[in-house]
Amino acid sequence: MELDPEENTMLMKLSTFIVDNVNYDMYYTPGDFFQRHKFWKNISLKVGVSNYLNPRCFTYGNFEYNPHGELYRALKNLKSEHPSKFSELLNELISKIDFGDIIQKNPQGRMQINRYLSVFGLEVDEAYNLVRSSLITEKRREDRHLMFGLLEAHPVEKEALMGAIERYSQGGSDAFRQCLDSCRNAIENLLKRIGGSTDWKKALQQVIPSESERDIVKQIYSFLSARGVHGSTIPSEEDTELGMKLTEDCLLWILKKHIE
């Protein structure tokens, strides 16, 4: 299965984080121009992904030099073609990151990489090991694929959701508030478009006849509004991740109702 837009965004961020933070010292020899080439070649051979990873792309001065793009391309292909190797390569690379050094410079370093990993059901634990964080990832992945497919007919709402994903990946209280505001806008605008009304509550009645089911949407909307840019509550990272998941589930539910 190809990456969905959310996975694609997070994988690009993840690739940049890894390339910028892996520890090359174990292969360092003063004046050795091929230090990074040796690092990536050893990684690719150890994991058995030499057909996917070109070490020359990680060597300064090489005309093929494109480290972030090369790792992104390799991980993207592995996720689609060899998911077990995808996890194995990530595990090997994350073991080569000096998180102690990162956290001295950026105390949110582990939380940052976990935002990127969460979409794949993975996280770095407190001992800096890569572990699985969710057992329902594949079902969520299938649902996201279906949601993004249905959103192709609603480009404005899709753009709002993609903006939310980008803000979430950046991290920080203001970005989290912007993220949840974009989530709220995506739900509100989709209802208006499908329900044929400029009043989202009237549109909601058109789309979802059941009062008890409408209440669920209203509760999600209230959660997002209270933590958005005009809300009085500053969202935590956990709040924001929950808000995004609620939004994705709500959008898919509304789109399915519209199809029915």
pLDDT 10s digits, 185-235:
999 999 999 999 999 999 999 999 899 999 999 999 999 999 988 878 889
Six-digit token string for 154: 């609603």
**Region of residue 48 (left: phi > 0; alpha: psi -120 to 50; beta: else):** left
Q: Is 241 helix (H, G, I), strand (E, B) or coil?
A: helix
Asked if residue 146 and residue 248 are part of one domain, the reply reads: yes
Final residue belonging to a domain, choices 86, 115, 132: 132
Q: What are phi and psi of 61, to 5 degrees?
A: 85, -15
Asked if residue 142 and residue 53 are part of one domain, the reply reads: no
Asked if residue 146 and residue 54 are part of one domain, the reply reads: no
pLDDT at 154 (0 to 100)? 95
Final residue belonging to a domain, choices 132, 156, 190: 132
Asked if residue 153 and residue 108 are part of one domain, the reply reads: no
Task: Domain count for the chain, please give it.
Answer: 2
Domain interval for residue 147 = 137-259
Cross-strand bridge partners of residue 22 = 97
Final residue belonging to a domain, choices 114, 132, 150: 132
- Residue 21's Cα: distance from chain center in Å? 19
Task: Quickly count: other Cβ atoms within 10 Å of residue 177's Cβ.
Answer: 21
Spell out where the chain has E strands: 122-124, 130-132
Segment 118-131, tens digit of pLDDT: 999 999 999 999 99
- Point out the residues of the chain with pLDDT beneath 70: 26-33, 135-136, 260
Cross-strand bridge partners of residue 132 = 122
pLDDT at 33 (0 to 100)? 60
Q: Taking a C-beta distance cutoff of 8 angstroms, is the pair 200, 188 a contact?
A: yes
Q: Taking a C-beta distance cutoff of 8 angstroms, is the pair 46, 92 a contact?
A: yes
Rounded distance between C-alpha atoms, residue 44 and residue 23, angstroms: 16
pLDDT at 26 (0 to 100)? 64
Asked if residue 224 and residue 246 are part of one domain, the reply reads: yes
Asked if residue 144 and residue 49 are part of one domain, the reply reads: no
Asked if residue 125 and residue 222 are part of one domain, the reply reads: no
